[in-house]
Chain A
Amino acid sequence: MLRKHARTRVLAVAASIAVVAGLYSLAPLTGGASSHREAPLVSADPQIDTTDVWAFVSEDRPDTVTLVASWIPFEEPAGGPNFYAWGDGVRYDVNIDNDHDAKPDLTYRWVFSSRYRNPNTFLYNTGPVTSLNDQDLNFYQTYDLIRVNRDNGKKRTLVDDATSAPSNVGGASMPNYNSGLFDAATEEFGAAPSKTWAGQSDDAFFLDLRVFDLLYGANLSEVGDDTLAGFNVNTLALQVPKTDLAKAGDADANPIIGIWSTTSRRSTRIQMDDGSQQNHGKFVQVSRLGMPLVNEVVIPVGLKDYFNGSKPTADGAALPLVQDPELPHLLNAVYGLAIPDSDPDTAGIQRDDLIQVFLTGVPTLNMPDGGTPSEMIRLNMSIPPCSKTCSSLGVIGGDLAGFPNGRRLGDDIIDASLRAVLGVLLPNHEPIAETIGDGVDANDVAFNGTFPYVAYPHSGSDADPH
Chain B
Amino acid sequence: MIGKTVTAAAMAVALLAPVVSVGSLDGTIASLQDRLRAVPDDWRSSASLGLAYVAQARVTGDPSWYPKAEGILARSLRVNADDNVEGMLGLGVLDLARHDFSAALRSGRRAAALDPHGAEAYGVIGDALLELGRYDRAFRAFQTMVDTRPDLSSYARVAYARELVGDVRGAERAMRMAFGAAGTPADAAWTAYQLGELAFGSGDVRSARGWYARGRELDPSYVPNLAGLAKVAWARGDDGLAVERFTDVVSRYPSAEFVVALADLYRATGRQVLAEQQDDVVRAMHALASESGVNVDLELALFDADHGDPAGALAAARAEWGRRQSVHVADAYAWALYANGRFARASTLAERALALGTRNALFLFHAGMIRFELGDEQGARRCLSAALATNPNFSIQHADAAAITLARLEVGR
Asked if B170 and A277 make an inter-chain contact with CB atoms under 8 angstroms apart, the answer reads: yes
Does A25 reach chain B (CB closer than 8 Å)? yes
Asked if A39 and B153 make an inter-chain contact with CB atoms under 8 angstroms apart, the answer reads: yes
Q: How far is the CA of A47 from the CA of B152 in the complex (A)?
A: 11
Q: How far is the CA of A105 from the CA of B32 in the complex (A)?
A: 46
Chain A contacts for B115, CB-based, 8 A = 302, 305
**Interface residues of B, dominant DSSP:** helix
Does B117 reach chain A (CB closer than 8 Å)? yes
Closest chain A residue, CB of each to CB of B219: A27
Does B339 reach chain A (CB closer than 8 Å)? no
Q: How far is the CA of A42 from the CA of B299 in the complex (A)?
A: 27
Chain A contacts for B165, CB-based, 8 A = 271
Residue in B25, B99, B150 whose CB lies within 8 Å of A281 = B150
Residue in B8, B120, B142, B223 whose CB lies within 8 Å of A29 = B223
Asked if A15 and B44 make an inter-chain contact with CB atoms under 8 angstroms apart, the answer reads: yes
Asked if B153 and A329 make an inter-chain contact with CB atoms under 8 angstroms apart, the answer reads: no
Asked if B181 and A12 make an inter-chain contact with CB atoms under 8 angstroms apart, the answer reads: no
B89 → chain A closest CB, angstroms:
7
Q: How far is the CA of A1 from the CA of B25 in the complex (A)?
A: 12
Does A270 reach chain B (CB closer than 8 Å)? yes
Q: How far is the CA of A372 from the CA of B158 in the complex (A)?
A: 39
Does B51 reach chain A (CB closer than 8 Å)? yes
Chain A contacts for B255, CB-based, 8 A = 29-31
Asked if B8 and A88 make an inter-chain contact with CB atoms under 8 angstroms apart, the answer reads: no
Asked if B187 and A33 make an inter-chain contact with CB atoms under 8 angstroms apart, the answer reads: no
Q: Which chain A residues in 17-44 approach chain B with CB under 8 Å?
A: 17-20, 22-44
The segment out of A93-101, A155-163, A208-216 that lies at the interface is A208-216
Asked if A334 and B12 make an inter-chain contact with CB atoms under 8 angstroms apart, the answer reads: yes
Does A265 reach chain B (CB closer than 8 Å)? yes
Does A82 reach chain B (CB closer than 8 Å)? yes
Chain B contacts for A303, CB-based, 8 A = 117
Closest chain A residue, CB of each to CB of B39: A216
Asked if B124 and A87 make an inter-chain contact with CB atoms under 8 angstroms apart, the answer reads: no
Does A61 reach chain B (CB closer than 8 Å)? no
Q: Which chain B residues in 173-190 approach chain A with CB under 8 Å?
A: 173-174, 177, 180-190
**Residues 47-63 of chain B: 1 if any A CB is under 8 Å from the residue's CB, otherwise 0?**
11001101100110100
Residue in B11, B32, B150, B174 whose CB lies within 8 Å of A326 = B11
Asked if B184 and A41 make an inter-chain contact with CB atoms under 8 angstroms apart, the answer reads: no
Asked if B5 and A333 make an inter-chain contact with CB atoms under 8 angstroms apart, the answer reads: yes
Q: Which chain A residues in 34-59 approach chain B with CB under 8 Å?
A: 34-48
Chain A contacts for B203, CB-based, 8 A = none
Does B155 reach chain A (CB closer than 8 Å)? yes
Chain B contacts for A12, CB-based, 8 A = 15-18
Does B157 reach chain A (CB closer than 8 Å)? yes
Residue in A24, A29, A212, A266 whose CB lies within 8 Å of B51 = A24
Does B148 reach chain A (CB closer than 8 Å)? yes
Asked if B149 and A1 make an inter-chain contact with CB atoms under 8 angstroms apart, the answer reads: no
Chain B contacts for A213, CB-based, 8 A = 17
A389 → chain B closest CB, angstroms:
35
Contact status of A26 and B120, CB under 8 A, knowing A12-B15, A19-B18, A329-B4: no
Chain B contacts for A43, CB-based, 8 A = 151-153, 181-184, 187
Asked if B146 and A267 make an inter-chain contact with CB atoms under 8 angstroms apart, the answer reads: yes
Interface residues on A, range: 35 or more
Does A301 reach chain B (CB closer than 8 Å)? yes
Chain B contacts for A24, CB-based, 8 A = 51, 89, 93, 120
Chain A contacts for B117, CB-based, 8 A = 303, 305-306, 309
Chain A contacts for B9, CB-based, 8 A = 333
Chain A contacts for B131, CB-based, 8 A = 36
Closest chain A residue, CB of each to CB of B115: A302
Does A149 reach chain B (CB closer than 8 Å)? no
Chain A contacts for B389, CB-based, 8 A = none
Asked if A87 and B181 make an inter-chain contact with CB atoms under 8 angstroms apart, the answer reads: yes
Asked if A39 and B157 make an inter-chain contact with CB atoms under 8 angstroms apart, the answer reads: yes
A32 → chain B closest CB, angstroms:
6
Does A122 reach chain B (CB closer than 8 Å)? yes
Asked if A332 and B17 make an inter-chain contact with CB atoms under 8 angstroms apart, the answer reads: no
**Residues 76-118 of chain A: 1 if any B CB is under 8 Å from the residue's CB, otherwise 0?**
0000011000011100000000000000000000000000000
Asked if A27 and B222 make an inter-chain contact with CB atoms under 8 angstroms apart, the answer reads: yes
Does B321 reach chain A (CB closer than 8 Å)? no
Contact status of A41 and B124, CB under 8 A, knowing A1-B185, A30-B255: yes
Does A2 reach chain B (CB closer than 8 Å)? yes
Does B279 reach chain A (CB closer than 8 Å)? no
Chain B contacts for A45, CB-based, 8 A = 151-152, 181, 183
**Residues 322-347 of chain A: 1 if any B CB is under 8 Å from the residue's CB, otherwise 0?**
00001001101110000000000000
Asked if B8 and A122 make an inter-chain contact with CB atoms under 8 angstroms apart, the answer reads: no
Does A286 reach chain B (CB closer than 8 Å)? yes
Chain A contacts for B120, CB-based, 8 A = 24, 41-42
Q: Which of B148, B149, B158, B170 has the most CB of A within 10 A?
A: B149
Does B411 reach chain A (CB closer than 8 Å)? no
Q: How far is the CA of A29 from the CA of B190 in the complex (A)?
A: 8
Closest chain B residue, CB of each to CB of A29: B58
Does B352 reach chain A (CB closer than 8 Å)? no
Does B19 reach chain A (CB closer than 8 Å)? yes
Residue in A33, A212, A266 whose CB lies within 8 Å of B17 = A212
Residue in B58, B127, B142, B157 whose CB lies within 8 Å of A30 = B58
Contact status of A41 and B153, CB under 8 A, knowing A23-B48, A329-B8: yes
Asked if A9 and B20 make an inter-chain contact with CB atoms under 8 angstroms apart, the answer reads: yes
**Residues 257-280 of chain A: 1 if any B CB is under 8 Å from the residue's CB, otherwise 0?**
000000001111111000001010
Q: How far is the CA of A255 from the CA of B324 in the complex (A)?
A: 64
A121 → chain B closest CB, angstroms:
10
Chain B contacts for A19, CB-based, 8 A = 18-19, 21, 28, 32, 45, 48
Closest 9 CB pairs of A and B: A27-B190, A277-B170, A44-B183, A43-B152, A329-B8, A333-B8, A23-B51, A39-B156, A306-B117
What are 14 A-B residue pairs whose CB atoms fall within 8 Å in the complex?
Answer: A15-B14, A15-B18, A15-B19, A16-B48, A20-B51, A20-B89, A29-B58, A33-B197, A34-B362, A37-B160, A39-B157, A82-B188, A216-B16, A279-B174
